[in-house]
Amino acid sequence: MTRSTRLMTLMQALRNHRPPVTAQQLADDTGVSLRTLYRDIESLRGMGAIIDGTAGYGYALTEDAALPPMMFDDEEIEALVLGLREVQAIGDAALAGAAGAALKKLQARLPAAQAHRLEHAVLAVAGYRKAPPTTVDLRALRQATWDEATISMAYSDANGTPSAREVDPLGIIRFERNHALIAWCHLRDDYRAFRLDRIQSFTRTGTSFRPRRIPMLRDALAHMSAHPPQGPAT
């Protein structure tokens, strides 16, 4: 294994483990002695990586933005391109634009050979059915979800029957043909999936449910996995 490959492997090992990770674990991951591992840590620090910790305590990678271009293997590049191109195909305007910008940033940061592979990836996206159009600001809805802000929304069910809902937004998921908001519905006192194209409007209530979004989303997805929904809830 060349030194550059070994340093790349070490960087990935630092990213993969929950910090602090012991020197012995990193040495085992990279197949080197502890003495070599300590030298490699110092080499990465000299290249700009901010690695906290010392021998006997463990290490934590807190920042690596100053390192040379990001390194991905060939399969990772194909996966990134496919995922971002899918977002371009099925996302709303803001997300599609962000996916395109992310592809350009990746290409600019990659070494020349990998940038060429990204531009001419084997995998492509075709035939994706776009979700029905929405009338609400999805960027604002995503922000409310990130902010863990309870919202009040006007919603119409499959029959067009309107209702007022107060929900804790947890995440947005794509079903086979539609995007839906996964949320805790205060009216039903349960997790529900609301199709985005049926949300007529929403406003923040001023109430926060922080910091419960992540465990709530985990519970909601587990519930949906055990009891697959027939469609967005009413």
Q: For position 172, which CATH number holds?
A: 2.30.30
Overall number of domains in the chain: 3
Residue-range definition of the domain harbouring residue 215? 138-226
The domain that contains 33 carries what CATH number? 1.10.10.10
Distance of CA 200 to the CA centre of its chain: 27
Same domain, 146 and 185: yes
Q: Are 159 and 118 in contact (CB under 8 A)?
A: no
Cβ partners under 8 Å of residue 197, min gap 6: 131, 132, 133, 134, 135, 178, 179
* Dist. CA 51–CA 65, nearest whole Å: 12
Same domain, 12 and 79: no
Q: How much is the pLDDT for 219?
A: 94
87, part of any domain: yes
Same domain, 221 and 150: yes
Span 20-71, pLDDT tens digits: 899 999 999 999 999 999 999 999 888 888 888 877 788 998 755 545 445 6
* Dist. CA 137–CA 89, nearest whole Å: 18
The residue from 19, 42, 63 where one domain ends is 63
The residue from 17, 36, 63 where one domain ends is 63
Same domain, 150 and 217: yes
Same domain, 19 and 43: yes
68, part of any domain: no
pLDDT(213) > 90:
yes
The residue from 24, 44, 63 where one domain ends is 63
Same domain, 45 and 99: no
What's the whole-number average pLDDT of the chain? 87
Q: Length of the chain in residues, anyone? A: 234
Instruction: For the chain, give the longest Cα–Cα distance.
Output: 69
Same domain, 147 and 171: yes
219, part of any domain: yes
233, part of any domain: no
130, part of any domain: no
Q: Say which residue, 1 or 82, is predicted with more confidence.
A: 82
* Dist. CA 149–CA 207, nearest whole Å: 6
Span 98-147, pLDDT tens digits: 999 988 888 877 778 888 888 888 888 776 677 788 999 999 999 999 99
- Which of 189, 194, 193 is CA-nearest to residue 224? 193
177, part of any domain: yes
State the DSSP string of 166-232. Answer: EEEEEEEEE-SS-EEEEEEETTTTEEEEEEGGGEEEEEEEEEE-TT-HHHHHHHHHHHHHHS--SSS
- The fraction of the chain above a pLDDT of 70, given in percent, is 92
